[in-house]
């Protein structure tokens, strides 16, 4: 069984009368890319800040790299890196100087700076100050800055925020490369759920400060997979027809609705068989539930994520 990197048990954070986090428990194992999904104000950033030790908790426990003691936790945090919300950079410094400052903060050598500048495609910036960088460059520099201390666990809060489509793709590639080449475990949040779905291996859905669902990529694929949606008033009769056609992977969702998960390219033939069996088919067609729809279905709202 792989090592647990982060385990939070019943973490709560209360600001006055507002419960920002309500008994949040998650477990992240080595090698996971854990996508934290939630609306604005759901508590994603608060949770991440708590893990980084920037915010105190009112209730619950954190286990990091197997450490739970306050002092040991502080020490364990040296094995982590973070980029929370806006890229935290020194605007008056160049990319190299920013990395030098962070290397000094972490008490590590500067010898990886050139490699990181190259990895993040920032080697050409030379004397350009960070304040003159584009947002994409700043995001890349912020990630380089977190990598200078050789973290095993990376926390990235909205790393694609404000990036253009090519920047988003670039950031996704960078994260995937870090996971593949350096074996880094990642806790990631994003507004762009379909984007997140392309890299995350596990998901936690945070709603009003509570984790309402944890799901793996595989289970999510099952729950959001493509299917043929069949609407008829005679479900029992339709089931008999499907059985006769040799279709076994289907699910009766309600008195009028069946989801068929096989022979997706053969909708016309299924429809013909149903009609020939004197069934009233009010609707039939392939559909796929997007991660956004799945999220909205779980949170019971149509608010922006």
Partner 1 sequence: MFNLLAAEKIKLSQSKKLMIVIGIFLLLPIIQVVNTKVNVAYGKELVQVIDTVINGATGILMIDKNGLTILLVISAFISFFIGEEFQNGTIRNALSLGRSRMHYYLSKFATAAIVSLFGVIVLTAIGMISFSIAFGFGGVAEISNYVPYAIKTFSTLYLLILANVSIYVMISFQTKNSGVSLVWSFLYTIATGFLPNIFQQTEHFKHVSNWFTETFLFYYDFASPDGLATYPNMILVSIITILLSSTLGIILFNRTDIK
Residue 196, token pair as written in the block: 């997140």
Task: Out of 32, 42, 84, 215, name the contact with partner 1 by CB under 8 A.
Answer: 84
CB of 249 to partner 1, least distance (A): 47
Nearer to partner 1, 144 or 274 (CB): 144
3-state class percentages of the chain: helix first, strand second, coil last, to nearest 5: 40, 30, 35
CB of 96 to partner 1, least distance (A): 10
Per DSSP bridges, beta strands 18-29 and 80-84 are unpaired
Per CB under 8 A, does 184 bind partner 1?
no
Nearer to partner 1, 10 or 105 (CB): 105
Give, as ranges, the residues between 23 and 52 that touch partner 1 (CB under 8 A): 49, 52
- Report the distance separating Cα 63 and Cα 73, nearest Å: 8
Query: Which residue intervals of 34-134 are DSSP H helices?
Result: 44-51, 70-76, 95-106, 113-119
Residue 4, token pair as written in the block: 């647990």
Candidate segments 80-88, 203-211, 230-238, 248-256, binder of partner 1 by CB under 8 A: 80-88
- Report the distance separating Cα 151 and Cα 64, nearest Å: 13
3-class DSSP state for residue 163? coil
Give, as ranges, the residues between 252 and 291 that touch partner 1 (CB under 8 A): none
**Do residues 90 and 81 touch, judged by C-beta distance below 8 A?**
no
Task: Out of 90, 217, 256, 273, name the contact with partner 1 by CB under 8 A.
Answer: 90
Give, as ranges, the residues between 95 and 154 that touch partner 1 (CB under 8 A): 97, 100-102, 104-107, 129, 145, 149
Residues near partner 1 (CB under 8 A): 49, 52-56, 73-78, 80-82, 84-94, 97, 100-102, 104-107, 129, 145, 149
């Amino acid at each position: 069984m792989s090592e647990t990197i982060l385990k939070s048990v019943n973490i709560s954070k209360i600001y006055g009368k507002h419960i920002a986090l309500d008994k949040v428990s998650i477990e992240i194992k080595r090698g996971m890319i854990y996508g934290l999904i939630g609306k604005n104000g759901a508590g994603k950033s608060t949770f991440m800040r708590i893990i980084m030790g920037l915010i105190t908790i009112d209730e619950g426990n954190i286990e990091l790299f197997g450490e739970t003691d306050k002092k040991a936790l502080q020490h364990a945090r040296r094995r982590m890196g973070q980029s929370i919300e806006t890229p935290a950079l020194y605007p008056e410094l160049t990319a190299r100087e920013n990395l030098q400052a962070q290397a000094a903060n972490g008490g590590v050598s500067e010898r990886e700076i050139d490699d990181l500048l190259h990895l993040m495609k920032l080697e050409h910036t030379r004397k350009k100050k960070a304040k003159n960088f584009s947002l994409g460059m700043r995001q890349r520099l912020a990630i380089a800055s977190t990598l200078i201390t050789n973290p095993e666990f990376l926390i990235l809060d909205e790393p694609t925020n404000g990036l253009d489509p090519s920047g988003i793709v670039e950031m996704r590639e960078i994260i995937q490369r870090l996971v593949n080449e350096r074996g880094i475990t990642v806790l990631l949040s994003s507004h762009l759920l379909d984007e997140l779905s392309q890299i995350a291996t596990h998901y936690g859905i945070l709603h009003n400060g509570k984790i309402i669902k944890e799901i793996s990529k595989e289970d999510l694929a099952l729950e959001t997979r493509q299917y043929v949606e069949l609407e008829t008033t005679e479900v029992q009769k339709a089931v008999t027809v499907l059985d006769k056609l040799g279709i076994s992977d289907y699910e009766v969702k309600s008195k009028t609705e069946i989801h068929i998960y096989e022979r997706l390219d053969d909708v016309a033939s299924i429809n013909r068989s149903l009609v020939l069996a004197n069934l009233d088919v009010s609707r039939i067609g392939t559909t796929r539930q997007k991660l956004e729809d799945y999220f909205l279905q779980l949170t019971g709202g149509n608010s922006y994520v």
